[in-house]
Amino acid sequence: MIFGYVIKIQKGCWVTGCSDSHLPRTVVFENAKIFKTLNAANKTKEKLISKNNRRKLNLQILEYETAKREVE
C-alpha cells in the first residue's frame, strides 16, 4: 500500500510534477507524481494554478489509494 497524495487535473489526467513552462500531465496513473504530504500537494497545486492563471484549472488533491480505485 502506498501512502501519499496525487493531483487530479480532470478525469483520467494526473499531474506528473512541476514544470516552469507548462502543466505537466499524464493519462497513465502509474506515472502520476505522488506527494508524501498534503502540504506538499497543496503547494504544488497553488504553484500550478498561479503559473497557469489564464486557464481555469479545477485541480483536486486525492489520497493515492482513493485515486487508484477511481482508475481501476
Output the tens digit of pLDDT for each of the chain's 72 residues: 679 999 999 999 999 976 665 789 999 999 999 999 999 999 999 998 888 888 888 999 999 999 999 988
**What is 13-27 written as a DSSP string?**
EEE-S--SSS--EES
Nearest to 48, CA basis, from 1, 71, 72, 14:
14
pTM for the model stands at 0.90
Are the beta carbons of 8 and 41 closer than 8 angstroms? no
